[in-house]
Amino acid sequence: YELVFFLFSHKSYADTVLDTLEREFKKAEYLTEEERELMEQAGSAAERSSLLRRIKQNQKLFDFRLYRDHCIKTPEGIFIKDLSIIRNRNLATVMIVDNAVYSFGFQLENGIPIIPFYSPQVNPDDQELKHLIYYFEQVHARDDVRLQNRVAFQLRELQQLDLQQQLIIINQQQPEQQQIEEEDEEEEGEEEGCEEEQEDEGTEVDDPEAGSPPAYQVYGKSA
């Protein structure tokens, strides 16, 4: 595998974190299958120790690093990790792991969604990376990882389902909205009728022929 780290972050910030991860990775007792075979072929313990040091010195956790400058920014301000910028790789063998599905929205079948990790205190039982390794082992020999991803995660179906649900909600809301508008129009008509009655009642003047008339009123205010 080639491991490419594709981030939303700016390079200056991201490299600080990635360099730390790479240092910790070199401390870990991890070897590729080829490196393990070399270790088994080493004769003495001293040879194995020397070989291990050389392997660790040359080990790289990340083959490439991509940053915010490599993302596509939508008019809504969302950053999309468009895999088409990787010109010299066949997308049939490329997978992107991200906790935000929208980030690989341009190539859904290449994406592997994963649960966010915040800290050991927040996620003490997190096993997602172990599950991810198991999944990688399952798709390693596939000619096109997108076919397996499509079956495993069904993101395209979820996207269509989400659109269908939105249409259902819109269709449900339209009669309700129409009813609300009709009720508002009826209330406005009743209020206008009340205002006209109040105006007729409120514009009274003294009638010298009516004996003792009430005080002069304009819209309910006594003079």
Q: Is residue 219 domain-resident?
A: no
How many domains is the chain built from?
3
| CA distances to 2, 56, 202 from 38, in Å | 20, 13, 103
* pLDDT for the residue numbered 214: 39
Q: Is residue 51 domain-resident?
A: yes
> Do 96 and 137 lie in a common domain?
yes
> Do 54 and 77 lie in a common domain?
no
> Do 166 and 110 lie in a common domain?
no
CATH label of the domain that carries residue 117: 3.40.50.1000
* pLDDT for the residue numbered 181: 57
> Do 138 and 76 lie in a common domain?
yes
Q: Is residue 209 domain-resident?
A: no
Q: Is residue 84 domain-resident?
A: yes
Q: Is residue 96 domain-resident?
A: yes
CA atoms within 13 A on the CB side of 126: 14
Q: What is this structure's pTM?
A: 0.59
Which tens digits make up the pLDDT trace of 119-128?
888 888 888 8
Q: Is residue 222 domain-resident?
A: no
> Do 124 and 77 lie in a common domain?
yes
> Do 50 and 103 lie in a common domain?
no
Q: Is residue 80 domain-resident?
A: yes
> Do 98 and 145 lie in a common domain?
yes
Per-residue pLDDT of the chain in tens (223 residues, 90 and over written 9): 677 878 888 888 888 888 888 887 777 767 777 778 888 888 788 887 888 788 777 777 778 889 999 999 988 888 999 998 888 889 999 999 998 888 898 999 999 999 888 888 888 888 888 888 889 888 888 899 999 999 999 888 877 766 566 556 556 655 555 555 566 666 666 655 555 555 555 544 444 444 443 333 333 333 3
> Do 121 and 171 lie in a common domain?
no
* pLDDT for the residue numbered 44: 80
Last residue of a domain, one of 32, 66, 100: 66
Q: Is residue 179 domain-resident?
A: yes
> Do 106 and 56 lie in a common domain?
no
CA distance 44 to 37: 15
| CA distances to 81, 139, 198, 204, 213 from 219, in Å | 66, 81, 7, 9, 17
* pLDDT for the residue numbered 213: 38
> Do 183 and 137 lie in a common domain?
no
Report whether 136 contacts 145 (CB < 8 A).
no
Which tens digits make up the pLDDT trace of 49-97?
888 788 777 777 778 889 999 999 988 888 999 998 888 889 999 999 9
* pLDDT for the residue numbered 5: 79
Quickly tell me which residue has 């990688």 as its tokens. 136
Q: Which domain holds residue 134?
A: 71-153
Per-residue three-class SS string for 195-212: HHHHHHHHCECCCCCCCC
